[in-house]
Structure 1
Amino acid sequence: MNIIENYRNWRRYRETVSELSRLSNRHLADLGINRGEIPSVARRAI
Structure 2
Amino acid sequence: MFDNVVKNYRQWRNYRNTVSELSRLSTRDLNDLGIGRGDIEFVARRAAGK
After TM superposition, the score normalised by the length of structure 1 is: 0.97
Deviation at 1:22, TM superposition (A): 0.1
Deviation at 1:3, TM superposition (A): 0.2
Aligned CA-pair RMSD: 0.4
CA distance in 1, matches of 2:8, 2:36: 27
Q: Residue in 2 aligned with 1:38?
A: 40
Structure 1 residue runs without a partner (length 5+): none
Deviation readout 1:1-46 (Å, 9 max, x if unpaired): 1000000000000000000000000000000001100000001112
Structure 2 residue runs without a partner (length 5+): none
* Runs of at least 4 residues off by over 4 Å: none
Q: Residue in 1 aligned with 2:24?
A: 22
After TM superposition, the score normalised by the length of structure 2 is: 0.90
CA distance in 2, matches of 1:39, 1:23: 14
Instruction: Report which of the two structures shows the higher radius of gyration computed on alpha carbons.
Output: 2
